[in-house]
Amino acid sequence: MNILSLFVLIPVLTIVGILFTKDYKQTRVVSAIGMGIQLVLAGLLIYLYLAERNAGNTAAMLFTYDTVWFPTLNIHYSVGVDGISVAMIGLTAIVVFAGIFASWMVTFLSREFFISLILLSSGVFGFFISLDLFTMFLFYEVAVIPMYLLIGIWGSGPKEYSAMKLTLMLMAGSALILVGLLGIYFNSAPGGGQLTWNIQQIARIQIPIQMQRFLFPFTFIGFGILGALFPFHTWSPDGHASAPTAVSMLHAGVLMKLGGYGAFRVAMYLMPEAAQEQAWIFIILTSISVVYGAFGAIWQKDLKYINAYSSVSHCGLVLFAVLMMNQTAMNGAVIQMISHGLMTALFFALIGMIYGRTHTRMINEMGGLMKVMPFLGVAWVIGGLASLGLPGLSGFVAEMTVFVGAFQHTDVFHRTVTILATSSIVVTAVYILRVVGALLFGPIKDDHFLQLDDAKWYERFSTITLIVSIAAIGLAPLWLSDMIGSSLVPMVEKITGMSIAGLF
Amino acid sequence: MTGTIPLMYFLVISTLMFFIGIYGFLTRRNLITMLMSIELILNSVNINFVAFNKYLYPQHLSGHFFSLIVIAVAAAEAAVAIAIIINIYRNFKSIDVDKVDQMRY
Amino acid sequence: MTDFTYTILIPLVPLAVFIFVGLTGHKMKPIVSGLIGTAGLAFAAVLAYITAFNYFWIGHTAGTGYTSIKAFEISWLHLTEHLTIKLGSLIDPISVMMLVVITTVSLMVHIYSIGYMKGERGYHRFFAFLSLFSFSMLGLVLATNIFQMYIFWELVGVSSFLLIGFYYEKPSAVAASKKAFIVTRFADLGFLIGILMLSFNTNTFDFQTLVSPTGPAITQAGGAAFMGLSVLSWSLIFIFMGGAGKSAMFPLHIWLPDAMEGPTPVSALIHAATMVVAGVYLVARLFPVYALGAPDALHVVAWVGGISSLFAAVIACTQTDIKRVLAYSTMSQIGYMMLALGVSGFGGHEGLGFMASNFHLFTHAMFKALLFLGAGAVIHAVHSNDMSGMGNLRKYLPVTHATFLIACITIAGIPPLSGFFSKDEILVAAFEGNKALFFIEYAVAGLTAFYMFRLYYSIFWGKETHYHHTPHEAPLVMTIPLMILAFGSIFAGFLPFHNLVTSDGLPFETPTEWSIAIPSVLIALLGIGVATFMYRKVTGVPDKIAGAFSHLYKWSYHKFYMDEVYLFVTKKVIFNLISRPVAWFDRHVVDGTMNGIAGITQFASVKIKGFQSGRVQQYAFVFVTGAIALVLIFVYLW
Amino acid sequence: MNSELMFFILAGMILIFSVMTVTTRRILRAAVYLLFVLISTAGLYFMLNYNFLAAVQLTVYAGGIVVLIIFSILLTSHISERAVVAGWKQNLLSALSVVAGAALTLITMFNYTFTASSEPASGSSVKDVGTALVSYGDNGFALPFEVISILLLAAMIGAIIVARREKLKIEEKEIRREN
């Protein structure tokens, strides 16, 4: 059995297991066990991957498996991973695992909740392991659709509105992606012969440039919507604000990464010439995202909105870095995806925990929480510091790699946008500290806060998992960066059309 | 027995009857009258089948049988339709077609 | 050559202490965490002394220059094919000197804090943060490359943030910590851009490569020019922006006075002796590049330093919060150091300013830490920061009084205390470098003496004040560090800095320039005299003078309204003019467009839904008409 | 007897009674007019020499369906009831549409020449019809016969289910009450 297929299989088995549970207590235990196995498996995958690489295996994709499942259109179930996907799988496993513990106390329709959640995660895993565009798209939809139910049923506030908005906008993105993918498929054999969905095969040929010009915006914007590309990001604040904790975590932590990953692996990798021609448009949009999201976050009062705008800013940086089209910046983009995934999951988990106690998310109604819930307070500060790029935590590694990479362009345009994007670190500091100050520090505003308790064991477990991951990447980034970097070489060569030496 | 009557006569009769039926269907508001209009329409079609069969393909019986089957279908349809109408009458205390407009936006 | 690999332990020990105390501190008795922190720091201090001894005397053959030794280095992150971030420790005269300064002051502060923080909530947290800070600061000075420095630069920023906001229930402390972090963060943006520019053009982060006179930075100094300055100059100016932020140079100084909201030992350690001189250290670290590659940038350094020192000295004369006076005094003294670097040249006697700057850094660390700790002892005794509520404390606090006086004399520059020597070297360097700045510094010397003695007399002399409860001398654990630092302040001046810490590693002679020293001493004495006249006894003179220069006094008292300017920029411009419209724009225009699309769909559906009327006859009519129309079109009109 | 005259009489009856069926305001009369139309149509079939079909027309249509309709009329309305007429707009539009459709169809028909076949007519006696109905192959109609029988069965069941009083609803209501 191929190890990668297990990543799709285990969630499915877990779902089957959940069907046999009697009450929410059993359900959550089964979910936790299933996702725990998944996490162990992800660790094992990283280990196997590195071992294989160290043994001198230089194939672009490892652990590949390929079988046709719809011969008429030549659709394969084709899986394989490189350093980038391995890293993303690791991220997903961590966030899902933490998400299960963050939703430990979901008792309303808990079976359905966990089934949707795990179904979503299986879609994400499937997306990251797929090498076949159609299968990838299939998994993409599997990941997006349960979101509607999760927000619409278990959400809060105007949940129907938010769920509808989020789903519609993401579906619009899907439609664009589908156009792009079909276009790629029908141009995948310009010299005649069998059309193919396989990414690796398509990468070997060149899609005609006129087609690229047409298809690239579709694909890039389609994935960009999920990656919160300005001005298609507005689903994010509403959606996150209404979503239940674990869903926000998964959505911002993992699902938004599908956008970045797809924009990079599909749009740019397969259509490099058009990407180079049109990059400037998207660079402008993404730089706007970066700064605009940060400024937008300053003014918000709802914790989830703040974090949603912060996500817009950080995810903008991912796409920004991808568009810089050099090894360093793209490396930074992937690290930023992982880093932001962990950070934002941590934030949403904490917001959920705090909201569960104070029953408000408005920062001006809170204050002094550090005193009553020191554990959550400290976790929040750590998350905040990671978010504003403190060395030793993951955000710094990602941001610095991105900035150094972006700075490798010498022309005025790139320099200007780079400096603009760099300036976001200051704005980020402003809104992070504003929240920390208003939320945790200062006098306690409401007497009933004094009765609140600190985190429960499962909440601690969820939080600590994420913090440890953030710190691990922040303290020892070399292995991750090298793992991603070596896999990037062929892609960057294809995208820039130049052969590069690689770093090592 | 048809003698000198041209085919066209039958067709004209059938056409007129068909459109009279449609007119009835469009203007009568009583469901039963509408059902009767439908019977007219079916009847006109039957005439067509039969006439074509007789004049153009006398060696076959296809049109004839088609009419036969249409009559059977009409009978079935009438039975079901009347069942529906009676049911509607029970629920709405009326068989006015304009009163039965629950299936809308 | 001696093996210096063990120097890596100097920062790592405090780090271990931080992790240990941070995670388990709440379970132990408060005093235990204090002792663990102090022990860790003591260990680091011993290592630092051993390093200094090894480097300056054991491992060094007399007569040759001091070289920089890369004791340890590991790769941390690959960025591009040329650029790799490494972590390690670099041993050279200035880093060794800084190790000694930091560990000494930090150790004193640790010991002092055991007493000072007694009974505070979050005792262990305090010591954990102190260890974190010590780790970051030591990592900063040991940095082998500019990116490592940036990493630790950020870490000290955060430690400072955490320590300023230590009393997190006090809104003013929270605001101050936020302000400190954001202002320095803004400066760090410049630093980062400078690093990016510098590294892009030189393909290296490494200090040894950068400062090497044959290295890419200096040889390619010409480079492309932008607005009349070379790229190298620009990058160095940006880097200096980072240094200016951390060192509270005008106009990025506004966070420093507010930072005094933190506990006093923190002010002594971070905001007087160590972190705020990081900017000086940064410029000193890159000094050859500045001096040889971009003299323009060095002029900027000199002028910023000069202006800051004067600016701060003027403000210090009117402040009434004793810690704020000391904060402005710190800013002024750091201005001195910057100025000395700015007017210095490279190599031999030319490098006098470099040496003087480091010398002053060293002595300043001693006496300023002493001043802060003394102020802490005073605050500890009277529970107030405001000197208008103090007076005649000398009989209650004899030890504090004596050590404070020593520190005041030292900072005023009266021989033979250490301040005199280092300040004198700076004045000589300024005289040789830039006459205008030299006269500014003369004025500042007088002002310094004046405001320090104003402070001194207001606290320890002057009116007999009635206190809530009789002030009492601090416990021994607090006074011993005072005495040790007083000892350092007195005798640090006799260290042969011109042999040890020079711009090119080679020793040179610095005869005392009496023609400059004597007037400076006289000016200092004049300042002291004026202060004595005005503040020794309660007189009406200060008010009269304040009245005479009412405008100047008011401006100075309000710190030249810098805070208000910043407040205007942040609150009005950034919050109200950028952020709020952005938020509005997002909700109403961008999201409005999205909702508008949905709205159009809905509107259209409302309009169209009339077709679904539920009327069978209408459907039939449309169907028949449609069929007729289709026949018409396809049979006849097509 | 002149067959043309016969035809015109039948055609006239068909048209007149058709129009009266859809215009009269008394439903029962409409049903009776419909009966006349159907009988006249049977006459046309006789003229065409399709005797069996004509017989079926008379028994099933005239005898079965019309009776069914009359029953349903008696069940749902009073004899004296006058049908509500549609508004003039609806009448006018429908008439226009219908006239246009009829004109279009007629024009199309007159523009096309049908050439009558001179092949000998196959037998259409009851025996022939019966044989064809149960044989298969070229001129066999066994399959449609079977299909229509199933359809009739389905319609019968359907009609019963639709028309019977619903007990289900009551049960549902009871269930709701229990909750």
Q: What is the pLDDT of residues C64-115, one digit of tens each?
A: 777 778 878 888 888 877 788 888 888 888 888 888 888 888 888 888 888 8
- Residue D68: CB atoms within 10 A of its CB come to 17
Specify the pairing of strand A62-70 against strand A75-81. Answer: antiparallel
Q: Global pTM?
A: 0.82
Please give the average per-residue pLDDT across A154-175, as a whole number: 86
* C-alpha to C-alpha distance for C105 and C99, rounded to whole angstroms: 10
Give the pairing of strands C229-230 and C69-78. unpaired
The mean pLDDT of C559-572, rounded to a whole number, is 72
Looking at residue D39, what is its pLDDT?
A: 92
pLDDT in tens, A402-417: 888 888 888 888 888 8
**% of chain C beyond a pLDDT of 70:** 94
Average pLDDT over residues C360-365: 86
Among the listed ranges A43-57, C331-345, C554-568, D144-158, which one has the minimum average pLDDT value? Answer: C554-568
Q: What is the dihedral of CA A108, A110, A112, A115, to 10 degrees?
A: 150
pLDDT of residue D172: 57
Model pLDDT for residues C457-468, shown as the tens digit of each residue: 887 777 766 666
CA A53, CA A327: separation in Å to the nearest integer? 19
Q: What is the pLDDT of residue D62?
A: 84
The verdict on C608 touching B (C-beta cutoff 8 Å) is: no
Percent of chain D with pLDDT over 70: 89
Quick one: pLDDT at residue A503?
A: 47
**Tokens of residue A412, six digits:** 């005025």
Predicted confidence band of residue B49 (pLDDT cuts 50, 70, 90): very high
Q: Is B25 on the interface with C (CB under 8 A)?
A: yes
pLDDT tens-digit series, residues D142-172: 888 899 999 999 998 988 888 776 665 555 5
Best of D1, D59, D98 to disrupt the B interface by mutation (most B CBs within 10 Å)? D98
Q: Does B98 touch chain C (CB under 8 A)?
A: yes
> Which pLDDT band holds residue C629 (cuts at 50, 70, 90)?
very high
Q: Give mean pLDDT, residues C433-441.
A: 81
| Burial zone of D113 (CB within 10 Å; 0-12 exposed, 13-18 middle, 19+ buried) | exposed
Please tell me if residue B45 touches chain D, with a CB cutoff of 8 Å: no
pLDDT tens-digit map of C235-278: 888 888 888 888 888 888 888 888 888 888 888 888 877 888 88
Q: For residue C214, what pLDDT is reported?
A: 75
Tens of pLDDT along C275-327? 888 888 888 888 888 888 778 888 888 888 888 888 888 888 888 788 888 88
ipTM value > 0.95: no
Q: Does B104 contact C616 at a Cβ distance shorter than 8 Å?
A: no
pLDDT at C537: 72
Q: Tell me the domain boundaries of chain A.
A: 3-488
How large a percentage of chain A has pLDDT more than 70?
A: 98
**pLDDT mean over C345-365:** 82
**Using the beta-carbon criterion (under 8 Å), do C624 and B27 form an inter-chain contact?**
no
Give the mean pLDDT of chain A.
Answer: 86
Lowest mean pLDDT among A376-385, C122-131, C410-419, D57-66: C410-419
Contact C226, C260 (CB under 8 A): no
Mean pLDDT within C122-147:
87
- Both tokens of A2, joined, read 């191929």
| SS3 of residue A81 by DSSP | strand
The C-alpha atoms of residue C492 and residue C56 are separated, in whole angstroms, by 16
Distance from CA of C605 to the nearest CA of D (A): 25
With a CB cutoff of 8 Å and minimum separation 6, the contacts of C60 are: C66
CB contact under 8 Å between C591 and A234, yes or no, is yes
One DSSP character per residue, C97-154 reads HHHHHHHHHHHHHHHHHHHHTTT-TTHHHHHHHHHHHHHHHHHHHT-SBHHHHHHHHH
For residues C499 and A228, the model is more confident at A228
Going from the C-alpha of A489 to that of each of A47, A321, A496, C607, D70, the distances in angstroms are: 21, 15, 11, 55, 86
Which tens digits make up the pLDDT trace of A231-241? 888 888 888 88
**What residue of C is the nearest CA neighbor of D91?**
C621
pLDDT band at D101 (very low <50, low <70, confident <90, very high): very high
Top pLDDT among C229 and C184 is at C184
Top-ranked range on mean pLDDT: pick from B39-43, C171-175, D22-26: B39-43
Hunting for tokens 């972590």 — which residue is that?
Answer: C87
Residue C624's pLDDT is 92
Residue D101: CB atoms within 10 Å: 21
Of C610, C614, C617, the CB nearest to B26: C617
Question: CA nearest C509: which of C496, C493, C498?
Answer: C498
According to DSSP H, which parts of A130-208 are helical? 133-154, 159-186, 199-204
Q: How far is CA A423 from CA A294, A376, A417, B97, C375, in A?
A: 10, 29, 10, 70, 38
Question: Which residues, numbered 105 to 124 in chain D, qualify as contacts with chain B under a Cβ-Cβ cut-off of 8 Å?
Answer: 105-106, 109-110, 114-117, 119-122, 124
Flag if D31 and B59 touch (Cβ within 8 Å): no
Instruction: Specify the pLDDT at position C162.
Output: 87
What would the pLDDT profile of A318-373 be if each residue is shown by its tens digit? 989 888 888 888 888 999 999 999 998 998 888 888 888 888 888 888 877 887 88
Chain C from 78 to 107: CB within 8 A of any A CB:
78-81, 83, 85
Q: How far apart (Å, rounded) are the C-alpha atoms in residues B86 and A448?
A: 66
Please check whether residue D158 is in contact with residue B80, taking contact to mean a CB–CB distance below 8 angstroms.
yes
Task: Inform me whether the C-beta atom of residue B97 falls under 8 Å from chain C C-beta atoms.
Answer: yes
With CB atoms and an 8 Å threshold, state whether C617 touches B104. no
Task: Report whether C262 contacts C478 (CB < 8 A).
Answer: no
Beta strand extents in C1-81 (DSSP E only):
69-78
Domains of chain B: 7-92 (1.10.287.3510)
Q: Give the minimum alpha-carbon distance from C622 to chain B in angstroms, rounded to a whole number.
A: 10
Query: In the prediction, which pLDDT does D167 show?
Result: 60
The whole-number average pLDDT for the span D119-132 is 81
Q: How many residues does chain D have?
A: 179
Helical (H) or strand (E) element with C91: strand C84-91
C525 Cβ under 8 Å from any chain A Cβ: no
Q: Residue B34: closest CA among chain C residues belongs to which residue? A: C617
Quick one: pLDDT at residue C322?
83
Give the model's pLDDT for residue C227: 64
* C614 at interface of B, judged by CB pairs closer than 8 A: yes
Q: Give the mean pLDDT of A55-82.
A: 85
Taking the Cβ of residue C573 and every Cβ of chain A, the question of whether any pair is shorter than 8 Å is answered with no
E-strand ranges in C193-258 read 225-226, 229-230
Q: Per-residue pLDDT for A395 more than 80?
A: yes
| Helix H or strand E encompassing C84 | strand C84-91
Chains within contact range of chain C (3+ C-beta pairs < 8 Å): A, B, D
Q: What is the mean pLDDT of chain C?
A: 82
User: Which residues of chain B have a CB within 8 Å of the CB of C621?
Assistant: 26
Cβ–Cβ under 8 Å, residues A371 and A444: yes
- pLDDT higher than 80, residue C579: no
pLDDT of amino acid B42:
93
Task: State whether D124 and B64 contact (CB < 8 Å).
Answer: yes
Return the percentage of chain C with pLDDT > 90, whole number: 1
The reported pLDDT for the residue numbered B44 is 93
In whole angstroms, give the CA distance from residue D77 to residue D85.
15
Query: What distance in Å separates the CA atoms of residue B46 and residue B63, rounded to the nearest whole number?
Result: 8
CA distance A189 to A207: 8
Chain B residues near residue C616 by CB distance under 8 angstroms: 34, 97, 100
**H or E, element range at A265:** none
Confidence class of residue A504 from pLDDT cuts 50, 70 and 90? Answer: very low
Tokens found for residue A133:
């565009």
Structure tokens that stand for C55 in this block: 């480097």
